[in-house]
Structure 1
């Protein structure tokens, strides 16, 4: 790929006030201490009301807010945007796509609007595709990642009867969206995307996470909507993250000492701590958000980038790592401010 793509600006959207562990614990009938010890996440945001379940912010709402903020921060107008890429595991509807709804809200017209169905790897996959479009001649495009939980978490359910492997989803996940403007020339934040890793590695392996969908024929099924194999995730993700680190460093011809910032996978507060220790890059400053936002799926890498960009000095280098456990996808980014 001959042309370099640049991150010009980011935007983010987190709905409503943060919900702390005490508030969430009271609503679920579990102790605040259990939430803190089990996942290590302090707050998260929900686009739905914790007491009534009323949806107040859709995925399109959040993605349009984040995307508009990124375009403004880049100093561009909607007419300058030549493609939209939106990654999510929780679209508002199957059709029309949330990507096209967001394009409509942002006043974007006569451009490709792609939707990538993915999880924690989605934002990197979208940035990878965006690089290809920039290399093909596009001058600027919008990459968005976001997820919402209202289809998967039922506030009216008797949590005392919910198995632990399902209950943890109520404290692990949150709602949010992040966005970034990719450009062909270094403008605004001027962060070059030096390399991308994007690899499916789950051949013949059971998924670590399944997000189901109910159609008209099976909507009354008793099977859970969201299932995770936490043991497999805890065992596999730290190792996969370290593999991504070294594969990207080799691709970029960098060493760990070249890194100023490290953006580790954002599964939960506790898991991110373990993964960062396993990566063992003490000279790089960690950039994390999951303890404050909860696991927001496709938004996470973009929310990390929103925290990184203001602190990245000219010549500074950063490496971002994201692992998707659905079918074991390894992704990462190498970044340098020019």
Structure 2
């Protein structure tokens, strides 16, 4: 599988810790120390509560940028795979919304419901879809986490496990144009690894869906065991990196760029330390973008595309805490 181009979309202007603290009555320095994220982007206006962007908006913009960079038209694409944990609607899918916006008719448009590892899962599915007829695919990862932020809530006495969601997450989208052919490619994907590893485990994060029958349920829409995530993700990241190296027949010295999981600024630094590979250049963005779920890995790949040179090698890991999914990919510059 070859990478022709990447694209991104971050909605609105960056919201720094001072603005976030002023809006919700937090301490800006505490946000920096506890989370390590400096800015994030929201698809909602924090003052009015008005939705400014949808998943289809973000995904379409990122896709168009990637296609433009690849020198392609939407009609050149043979299939589309979109990963999200926060679709605009359950039906129709946001994948078909993007396809419609781009004028992509009569092609497969698949949507994966997943979290932080979703972009890796989407790339794995897309790789398997490349064949004699399907030569070019479009992969998108997008999330709108702001839809779970109650803007008029008094958070002064909120438990840190819930308060962290107001500081940690952001919105965005990333896209990648892939091909079965090397012509015009900037990178080649060597190994993709994505497995469920949570048998018998309690989820680290749960996002509910409420329908008409239970929309007034007292069950929280989002629940997160941040301590469990802190405890488990570093080890899972190391396991994934080792598996990628083994399957790619690489050593740690072969890795020129390391793209670690992007949970938060603080957590990313901790995970990077445990993963080792001290000689590899880190490619991270979460401190500037916030945790934007399915967009994150693709935002990293966009940064990687700017710096990776021919023959240079990169290893990326994405961990999903919802039911503990380990994902990763190795890439080589062309």
TM-score (norm. length: structure 1): 0.97
Q: Deviations over 1:92-142 (max 9, x none)?
A: 000110000000001111100000000000000000011101146411010
The Cα offsets for residues 29-66 of structure 1, whole Å up to 9 and x where unpaired, read as: 01001111110000000010111211011111000000
After TM superposition, what 4+ stretches of structure 1 lie above 6 angstroms from structure 2?
Answer: none
* Structure 2: segments with no counterpart, 5+ residues: none
The answer for the alignment partner of 1:157 in structure 2 is 153
Q: Find 1:274's aligned residue among 270, 273, 294.
A: 270
Structure 2 SS opposite 1:57: coil
Residues 125 and 331 in structure 1, CA contact (< 8 A), matched pair in contact too: yes
Residue 216 of structure 1, CA deviation? 0.8
Task: For 2:70 and 2:294, locate their aligned partners in 1 and report how far apart those are by CA, in whole Å.
Answer: 21
Structure 2 residue 60 is the aligned partner of structure 1 residue 64: yes
Q: Does 1:287 align with 2:287?
A: no
Shift in Å, 1:218: 1.4
Cα deviation per residue 1:258-316 (whole Å; 9 max; x = unaligned)?
01100000000000000001111111100000000000000000000000012110001
Aligned counterpart, 1:173: 169
Q: Let me know the Cα RMSD of the aligned residues.
A: 1.0
- Pick aligned residue for 2:179 from 183, 192, 195: 183
**Alignment-derived partner of residue 244 in structure 1:** 240
Task: Give the whole-Å Cα distance in 2 for the aligned partners of 1:151 and 1:48.
Answer: 8
**Higher mean C-alpha deviation, range 140-149 or range 217-226:** 217-226
SS of the equivalent of 2:11 reads coil
1:314 paired residue number: 310
Q: Distance in 2 between matches of 1:232 and 1:284?
A: 28
**How many Å separate the matches in 2 of 1:291 and 1:224?**
27
Aligned length: 334
Q: SS at the partner of 1:151?
A: helix
Supply the distance in 2 between the matched residues of 1:51 and 1:44 (Cα, whole angstroms): 16
Match of 2:217 in 1: 221
Equivalent position of 2:108 in the other structure: 112
SS of residue paired to 1:69: helix
State the secondary structure of the residue aligned to 1:46: coil
Distance 1:272 1:171 in 2: 15
Q: 1:329 aligns with which of 321, 325, 329?
A: 325
Unaligned runs of 5+ in 1: none
TM-score when scaled to structure 2? 0.98
Shift of residue 330, structure 1, vs aligned partner: 0.5
The partner residue of 1:55 within 51, 55, 62 is: 51
1:183-203 per-residue CA deviation (whole Å, 9 max, x = no partner) reads 111233431110000100111
- Residue 298 (structure 2) aligned to one of 298, 302, 315: 302
Q: Give the 3-state SS of the residue equivalent to 2:148 in structure 1.
A: coil
Q: Is the counterpart of residue 125 in structure 1 residue 121 in structure 2?
A: yes
